[in-house]
Amino acid sequence: MNMDTTPHPRPYKLQWLSEGEEVQVKQQAIVSFSIGKYQDKVICDVVPMEASHILLGRSWQYDTKAIHDGFTNKFSFMYQDKKLVLKPLSPKEVCEDQIKMREKLANERKSETLERKSETLERKNREKKDIETLEEKHTCLAKKEEVKRLLCSRQPLYFLYCTSQFLHANQFENFELPSCVKPLLQNFQDVFPESVPSGLPPLRGIEHHIDLIPGASLPNRPAYRSNPKETKEIERQVVELMSKGWVRDSMSPCVVPVILVPKKDGSWRMCSDCRAINNITIKYRHPIPRLDDLLDELYGACVFSKIDLKSGYNQIRIREGDEWKTTFKTKYGLYEWLVMPFGLTNAPSTFMRLMNHVLREFIGKFVVVYFDDILIYSTSLELHVEHLQSVLNVLRKEQLYANLEKSIFCTDHVVFLGFVISAKGVLVDEEKVKAIQEWPTPKSVSEVKGFHGLASFYRRFVKDFSTLAAPLNEIVKKNVVFKWGKKQEEAFAALKHRLTNAPILSMPNFAKSFEIECDASNVGIGAVLLQDGHPIAYFSQKLSGAALNYSTYDKELYALVRALKTWQHYLLPKEFVIHSDHESLKYLKGQGKLNKRHAKWVEFLEQFPYVIKHKKGKGNIVADALSRRHALLSMLETKLFGLESLKGMYKLDVDFAEIFAACERFSENGYYRHNGFLFKTNKLCVPKCSIRELLVSESHEGSLMGHFGVQKTLEILQEHFFWPHMKRYVHKFCDHYIVCKKAKSKVKPHGLYTPLPVPEYPWTDISMDFVLGLPKTKNGKDSVFVIVDRFSKMAHFIPCKKVDDASHVADLFFKEIVRLHGLPRSIVSDRDAKFLSHFWRTLWGKIGTKFLFSTTCHPQTDGQTEVVNRTLGTLLRTVLKKNLKSWETCLPHVEFAYNRVVHSTTNCFPFEIVYGFNPLTPLDLLSMPNISMFKHNEAQAKAEYVKKLHEQVKAQIKKKNESYARQANKGRKKIVFQPGDWVWVHMRKERFPKQRKSKLQPRGDCPFQVLEKINDNAYKIDLPDKYNVSATFNVSDLTLFDADEDAIDLGTNPLQEGGSDEDMQLGGPMTRARTRRAKEAI
């Protein structure tokens, strides 16, 4: 339409105009329009649309005071003292208008096509003349377009191609860049302008908000006095900001003064003194990155680039409507900011929000951001070029501009936040160390504090910093006279010397194990975090209060606890070594009696997988063996270094030195050597060293183990390893393990043993139960559905909810059990309401599975599942330390641990019985020669092995059942009832709560007749409905009623004293004895 447009004073974005995209509105135009006789002009926002429409919005209605009739869709308003009514067009009129518009558009396109053809012809003629002119010259200067035309003419051509340079020559010399980087920076020269372009920054979705405290009074501070030079500088900067469109005139009631702050280069920065407005502003706490966390991300990087944003704060807009809250005052008037200035309380949070938002995709991968400093790090130059290009693309897209003079590219070291970072590690900045070296002797408390503050910035580089600085801290305390003495001078000199010769701190590699050295003195405690012998960080703390009176042992233990609290984010969950110069700490895990303080510290230490070594032995190979290996206990780490360090220990070992020498050429008593290792019948011999403790720890408390007892832990170890008195070693370890002592109950199971028929195959006969009353997880689960195979003893633990009905439980069963093992022939369970429901029993009845219920209040019938439930509870208590609601996430690990250990009944692994092999554990991942499980190379051999294994399991189960039955039935008589017998019922409190409300009430009830014998241990009796319980009882709850004439219960027999034989009615309880006597009397 060729209309004149002007920049929009307040650009914004539209989302409804184009589906899935945002449309930026940046331009305005004054548009003349007419509707019938009504003619007017309106300021319109310009947006790209497929049709030429004018949307008369709220502003037009406001200006004309138009009234809308919603029924007739008419607008009425006063125009030139006359009332106008705008009526909508009829459908016919709309159609005619559209036809006219299409014809007009077609004519315009036709004329445009003719014009383009004419222009093309004219351009070709002009180019032809230009070529003819250039061909006549031997030397000429030509533009790029002219050179292209000459190349098309197929004529010989010699030329010098000149291009504009990205940097000035003197600036370019300062950048020693690889050849692959220079073209990249030249391509992004728009990101590095000499100054930030004028105009408001784009809308990025993050603007600076200023929310005032409700009811606060607005400040109106007077302007500060300034000399003529400062006044002229303020005026110059205000004019410059006005020309850029960053500030504008204001009439705000909220006003603060401005001040000039000198820069490093001698120029001035104008800042608003926003303290008054900050006092009434609601604070927003966006997280600011921790310096040590940023440095920890840089391990392995060797190429660095640093990009510094130019006037970063001024590249963020103030939220529309908050501008008046930023008004500042000069001698020439009031001005308010349209971009974010320096000095506002929430400005740092807003800036970090923006940087995290635009660079979120790269942070933590190859970018570290701290306000306007962007550090890019890579492990190779090729990767670095890609990373640099990705960051520059984002800056270009978001229209963020950088300062070329302060940026550094593709260097092997860089100064970042006061530290020198390189591939070797982290160094102190020489400029800051120089300031510390040249610091004069303090003569006042403030000077001491100034020196201490600067030195504390680098305290992570100084071992025992707090101890060294203790004399300086003494003279800055309250109510202490300042006196600079010999101790202070020595501490002052020592800190200067340590900082001048500060070591290079390595950056942590979280794939390797760490070491900690602890020490304590009468003044303070200290520690150093090491990796591969290089320091990562130092920690120190001055002792005060009660800690000064601790014993030497307590100070050493306190130093260890404080160091682990400081560095636990480095140490968990991998194992690490603690070196201490106090030898008694070495036996910390085996300490018996603990006082309250020690118990609290030891409980904290138990969450760490550590090994303590005395410093004296740090240099020997026993202590170094653990530090050279990493992540042995990790369940996810599969690339383990192995046990190479053991080779050098055999010759000097107390247990294996003689055997190792004897096996140099030939095997000896089952021992043999292979590749430097010593074996006994395919089991690796482990010398006396810290690795023994590590292996026992992994077998007992590893991520895929389950804190089982001595026997099962020993069986796991004996799969792969051997050393003398291994059982004694394991017993000692398990007895002193605090977590197990807390978690495991000492109450032995009770009740009679009820053997069931031995199944023929895995997962044909199963038992099931629920574990209830667990803490509710984030998924709402509070119970565990336990299913156990009666043949292999394999178990599955399925999280569920207590309120789940029978249909939901059946669904879980089919998804988790039938999917893996098929349908069972029989199921043993207790009398849970879910299992007794009509749906559940009908379902299994139609399928053909036989259901066996335990007798009421006698869970020993399903004793197998009851034992598994107790074991599951113990395992969860040992695994869970703090967050008890996380048991659902631990359940798969617990199930693996349960199925991976030898079961006491079968003497086999449940996994192996079902699948014919055992799954791997972290111990199986160690690279040990000639250590492996059975390998069945042929299908026939595998089938024979599994068949033989199942026969052994059946025999073992029968043997265990017989053995247990003998033990359980000692001192007991076999009692058998027949249908028709009368019995007394023992009323258990849990089964007859109404009849056993008091201890003085009878514990037995009237004799009842036996209706059916279910098996030798269970009977069904004729129990009246008033009891409202199941009529099936275990034999232990029944006693034979064998009364004679003199012992008839009057409450159950109608005989009265003095009655005749003829009146005797035998309607009472007819036992076999009474029947016999009645026949004899007749």
Give all strands of the β-sheet with 576-580 in edge-to-edge order: 534-542, 524-531, 515-520, 576-580, 610-614
Dist. CA 1032–CA 1018, nearest whole Å: 7
CATH code where residue 470 lies: 3.30.70.270
Residue 132 lies in a domain: yes
pLDDT attached to residue 585? 62
Write down which residue in 472, 505, 538 finishes a domain: 505
Q: Give how far Cα 194 sits from Cα of 188, 189, 635, 924, 926, Å.
A: 13, 10, 55, 63, 60
151 and 274 both lie in a single domain: no
Which residue is it, tokens 């909220």? 254
339 and 387 both lie in a single domain: yes
Q: Beta 328-330 vs 333-337: how paired, if at all?
A: antiparallel
pLDDT along the chain (1082 residues), means of 10: 78 70 82 79 79 72 82 83 81 74 78 78 69 51 63 62 44 62 86 90 92 92 88 92 93 91 80 90 85 80 91 92 93 92 90 92 91 90 92 94 89 83 81 74 83 76 80 83 86 82 75 81 82 78 83 84 84 77 60 74 78 55 31 29 69 86 81 84 83 78 63 80 87 67 44 62 85 85 89 89 83 86 82 64 68 54 66 74 76 83 79 80 58 46 66 71 64 74 72 53 70 81 76 79 48 36 42 48 42
User: In 136-177, which ranges are continuous DSSP H helix?
Assistant: 144-152, 169-173
Tell me the DSSP string of 861-929.
GGHHHHHHHHHHHHHHHHH-SS-GGGHHHHHHHHHHHHHHSPPTTTSS-HHHHHHSS----GGGGS--T
Q: Give how far Cα 352 sits from Cα of 326, 343, 418, Å.
A: 20, 15, 19
pLDDT attached to residue 20? 59
State which amino acid sits at residue 993: P
| Short-list 662, 650, 658, CA closest to 691 | 650
CB distance 421 to 292 below 8 Å? no
H/E stretch holding 86: strand 82-86
780 and 841 both lie in a single domain: yes
Residue 918 lies in a domain: yes
Q: Give how far Cα 356 sits from Cα of 289, 359, 400, 525, Å.
A: 10, 5, 13, 38
1021 and 1055 both lie in a single domain: yes
Angle between helices 806-813 and 838-847 (to 10 degrees): 40
Residue 780 lies in a domain: yes
CB distance 991 to 859 below 8 Å? no
pLDDT attached to residue 243? 92
Residue 1077 lies in a domain: yes
Q: Give how far Cα 279 sits from Cα of 253, 319, 345, 351, Å.
A: 16, 19, 9, 20
pLDDT attached to residue 279? 92
Residue 186 lies in a domain: yes
Determine whether 529 is exposed, middle or buried from the number of CB atoms within 10 Å of its CB (0-12, 13-18, 19+): buried
| 3 state DSSP class of 785 | strand
Q: Beta 23-35 vs 5-14: how paired, if at all?
A: antiparallel
936 and 1038 both lie in a single domain: no
Residue 564 lies in a domain: no
- Rounded (5°) CA angle 217-218-219: 115
Write out the residue range of the structural domain in which residue 1047 sits.
Answer: 982-1081
986 and 867 both lie in a single domain: no
Read off the pLDDT of residues 717-757 as tens digits, 9 standing for 90 and up.
888 889 898 888 888 877 666 555 544 544 443 334 556 67
Which two structure tokens, joined as six digits, stand for 281? Answer: 């502003």
879 and 919 both lie in a single domain: yes
209 and 352 both lie in a single domain: yes
CATH code where residue 804 lies: 3.30.420.10
Dist. CA 76–CA 84, nearest whole Å: 6
pLDDT attached to residue 179? 76
pLDDT attached to residue 634? 30
148 and 292 both lie in a single domain: no
Residue 155 lies in a domain: yes
Q: How many domains does the chain have?
A: 6
Residue 545 lies in a domain: no
257 and 372 both lie in a single domain: yes
Give me the phi and psi of 682, to 5 degrees please.
65, 15
848 and 940 both lie in a single domain: yes
230 and 319 both lie in a single domain: yes
CATH code where residue 221 lies: 3.10.10.10
- Go through 886-906 and write b for each residue having 16 or more CB atoms within 10 A of its CB, e for each that does not: ebbebbebbbbbbbbbbbebb
Write down which residue in 140, 162, 184 finishes a domain: 162
Length of the chain: 1082
Write down which residue in 903, 931, 948 finishes a domain: 948
Read off the pLDDT of residues 794-831 as tens digits, 9 standing for 90 and up.
899 999 988 888 788 888 888 888 888 888 888 887 76
| 3 state DSSP class of 5 | strand
Q: Taking the CA atoms of the chain, what radius of gyration do you get in angstroms?
A: 44
